[in-house]
Amino acid sequence: MKTIIGNWKMNPGTFIEAKRLFEATKKIPTNSKKVELIIAPPHMFLRELSKGYRGTRIEFAAQDISRDQEGSHTGETSATQVHDTGSTHVIIGHAERRALGENEEDIHAKVLMALEAKLNPIIAIGESERDAHGDYIKTVRRQITTALDGIPAARFKNITIAYEPIWAIGAEHAPDAHAVHQMVLLVRKTLRDFYGEKAMKATRIVYGGSVNEENARDIFSVPELDGVLIGRASLDPIKFATIARAAAETSV
């Protein structure tokens, strides 16, 4: 089973366009036993898209939540409010949120909030650069263990880790399958070291950063990788459909 997460970011500009994009995405043929499709539109469109959708093949994610439960937090959206829209998932710690000042403690608080509200967290991690000393390995390990601190092993079946190196987001090329595999192994090892074999096996790991219709098949060939998180190509239903087909064909 492969997971494909489409992160629409702050697109499109109007609800009419969002509906059109969703209608086209909805028509993408996938075998739901082989491919899980999760769409993350802007908060503004979540309720109407998810409540208007009668099928079961697509699930919905928010792109962020508040670290607080309720109260005086102008402009924020709580985990409970996101769950109430019919969403099942939430992306937490996306590099574009971290760039706005979100820190690792915020991310940990948001993961706890999500689980409490019955939302499955998709935790985005990834280094900003590949330094020669290998510090990026420490960075990735720390991002994982801080985000998951204190979470019981039984909850790991609800967790997805999205490895998204910042240098590959919105870039021209994704790293090759071998490079992605090295990092998947690092994420799995970190999970095993800190939370045990069972938690490691229960966690889904996806790759994100410049996945497109051309490299998807190569990335889906990475062993122990459960799927991809897609930005730009999720806004083009033809590209997205090609990626979904590659997922179905490489899924066991």
Among 106, 232, 236, 245, binds ligand PGA (CB under 6 A): 232
Binding of ligand PGA by 41 (CB under 6 A): no
Return the H-helix or E-strand segment holding 125.
Answer: strand 120-125
Q: Choose among 218, 238, 237: nearest CA to 228.
A: 218
Within positions 69 to 128, which residues make up the interface with ligand PGA, using CB under 6 A?
A: none
Residue at shortest CB range from ligand PGA: 231
Binding of ligand PGA by 6 (CB under 6 A): no
- Tokens standing for 163? 């490895």
Interface with ligand PGA (CB under 6 A), residue total 12
Class of residue 188 by CB neighbours under 10 A (exposed 0-12, middle 13-18, buried 19+): middle
Active site residue 127: no
Among 208, 216, 222, 247, binds ligand PGA (CB under 6 A): 208
Q: Give the C-alpha separation, 19 to 73, whole Å.
A: 29
Question: Helix, strand, or coil here: 190?
Answer: helix
Q: Give the C-alpha separation, 70 to 183, whole Å.
A: 36
Among 3, 7, 63, 215, binds ligand PGA (CB under 6 A): 7
Among 3, 63, 81, 210, binds ligand PGA (CB under 6 A): 210
Q: Give the C-alpha separation, 158 to 203, whole Å.
A: 7
In contact, 216 and 243? CB cutoff 8 Å = yes
Within positions 164 to 203, which residues make up the interface with ligand PGA, using CB under 6 A?
A: 164, 169-170
Among 209, 222, 244, 251, binds ligand PGA (CB under 6 A): 209
Active site residue 94: yes
Q: Where are the alpha helices (DSSP H) in the chain?
A: 15-26, 43-52, 79-84, 95-98, 104-116, 135-147, 177-195, 197-202, 216-220, 237-250
Crossing angle of helices 237-250 and 15-26, rounded to 10°:
30
Q: Kindly tell me which of 175 and 200 has the beta carbon lying closer to ligand PGA.
A: 175
Q: Kindly tell me which of 50 and 212 has the beta carbon lying closer to ligand PGA.
A: 212
Binding of ligand PGA by 227 (CB under 6 A): no
Q: Which of 83, 89, 94, 181 is catalytic?
A: 94
Q: Kindly tell me which of 63 and 78 has the beta carbon lying closer to ligand PGA.
A: 63
Q: Taking the complex as a whole, how short is the minimal distance between the CB of residue 175 and ligand PGA, in angstroms?
A: 12
Backbone φ and ψ of 163, nearest 5°:
-85, 115
Q: Which residues bind ligand PGA (CB under 6 A)?
A: 7, 164, 169-170, 208-211, 229-232
Q: What residues act catalytically? A: 94, 164
